[in-house]
């Protein structure tokens, strides 16, 4: 579960202000109609987006901001490679352009170029020394790499620059949770929620932490709160929410969560279909349980346990 959460907290919000899962939906919109990054003027964005199908401007007669906005527009349309071209042009005109560096780091992180993302974030931190965001980005990448010491230093640096940053406090809580220090982790989750009572990230992270420590009742509550606050994150939490509810015998809620997860997958995982079948069975919905048990067999016809499960439903 911990690795799953690291993936969750590496959403672009921590680098660029993208809201929730918006980045994952960009590809559905071939030309983004609105900026997916906080702080970008909508009018300027629309103006830049209108130039994407035209020849790129001549750098000699253009501004760094012009190329940055085109980079934002390409990024929000899911075109990482095109975005990178524009961002490099922007940085060619202004090597310390903070917003361009942060977005470039985001693109590199999303495409697996972690070392370059680290360099871009370090440069951004020097470009804008009082900004917490580069340190939050560095902390999350170091967390992803398993370097808890560096991650801790990064989040502490972020908190020094923004003492009320819920995201940085969640980062510290994550580190404590990974070290098995539940009480310390909960203290930092409490601080994050004190500063931002509507932090879906804090509820999601704390919910997974509760799950890891076997506190399934609290896990189910927090994961549900997180999904309510950020519906676009709900599907990413659905699997964990389903298991948490199953373990506390809330079988109808478990089935609902597993259904949400299954609906998001092009090919439903056989283990989740089986868990939904069991949820239906214990909830007294025998027909649905048998139907899901049959679906599981269709997905993995060579697994003898699946036939045994279905046979038990018929008893």
**209 within some domain:** no
pLDDT, position 52: 63
Entry pTM: 0.84
* Model confidence at 6: pLDDT above 50: no
pLDDT score, position 23: 38
Count Cα atoms within 13 angstroms, Cβ side, for 167: 25
CATH number at residue 266: 1.25.40.10
> In the chain, how many domains are there?
1
Examine residue 76 and state whether it is found in any structural domain, yes or no.
no
The answer to whether position 271 is within a domain reads yes
CA distance 194 to 106: 28
Residue 265 lies in a domain: yes
Domain that holds residue 292: 250-315
**26-42: pLDDT as tens digits:** 333 334 445 566 666 66
Cα angle for residues 85, 23, 89 (degrees, 5° grid): 15
Say how many residues make up the chain. Answer: 315
Residue 272 within any structural domain of the chain: yes
Cβ pair 191, 202 in contact under 8 A: no
Q: What tens digit of pLDDT does each residue of 120-129 get?
A: 999 999 999 9
Q: Would you tell me the crossing angle of helices 133-145 and 148-161 to the nearest 10 degrees?
A: 170
Residue 28 vs residue 51, higher pLDDT: 51
Average pLDDT, the chain: 85
pLDDT in tens, 197-213: 999 999 999 999 999 99
Local confidence band at 299 (pLDDT 50, 70, 90 cut-offs): very high
Instruction: Give a yes or no: residue 285 inside a domain.
Output: yes
Separation CA 223–CA 240 (nearest Å): 8
* Cα(273)–Cα(248) distance, integer angstroms: 19
Residue 22 inside a domain? The answer is no
Sequence-distant (≥ 6) Cβ neighbours of residue 55 within 8 angstroms: none
| Cα–Cα distances in angstroms (integers) from residue 138 to residues 100, 125, 156, 157, 246, in the given order | 16, 10, 11, 10, 36
Let me know: does 260 contact 232? Beta carbons within 8 Å: no
């Amino acid at each position: 579960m911990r690795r799953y959460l690291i993936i969750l907290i590496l959403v672009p919000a921590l680098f660029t202000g993208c809201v929730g899962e918006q980045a994952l939906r960009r590809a559905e919109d071939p030309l983004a109609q609105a900026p997916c990054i906080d702080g970008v003027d909508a009018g300027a964005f629309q103006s830049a987006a209108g130039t994407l199908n035209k020849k790129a401007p001549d750098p000699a007669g253009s501004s760094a901001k012009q190329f940055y906005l085109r980079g934002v527009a390409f990024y929000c349309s899911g075109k990482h490679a095109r975005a990178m071209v524009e961002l490099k042009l922007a940085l060619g005109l202004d090597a310390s352009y903070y917003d361009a560096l942060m977005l470039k780091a985001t693109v590199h992180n999303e495409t697996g170029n972690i070392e370059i993302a680290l360099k871009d974030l370090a440069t951004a931190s020097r470009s804008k020394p009082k900004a917490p965001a580069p340190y939050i980005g560095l902390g999350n990448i170091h967390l992803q790499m398993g370097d808890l010491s560096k991650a801790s230093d990064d989040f502490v640096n972020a908190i020094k620059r923004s003492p009320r940053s819920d995201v940085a406090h969640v980062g510290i809580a994550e580190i404590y949770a990974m070290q098995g220090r539940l009480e310390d982790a909960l203290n930092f989750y409490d601080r994050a929620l004190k500063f931002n009572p509507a932090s879906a990230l804090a509820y999601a992270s704390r919910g997974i932490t509760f799950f890891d420590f076997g506190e399934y009742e609290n896990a189910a509550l927090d994961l549900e709160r997180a999904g309510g606050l950020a519906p676009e994150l709900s599907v990413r939490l659905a699997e964990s929410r389903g298991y948490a509810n199953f373990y506390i015998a809330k079988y109808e809620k478990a089935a609902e969560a597993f259904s949400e997860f299954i609906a998001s997958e092009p090919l439903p995982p056989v283990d989740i279909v089986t868990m939904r079948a069991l949820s239906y069975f214990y909830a007294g919905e025998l027909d649905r349980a048998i139907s899901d048990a049959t679906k599981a067999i269709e997905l993995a016809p060579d697994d003898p346990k699946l036939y045994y499960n279905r046979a038990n439903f018929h008893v």
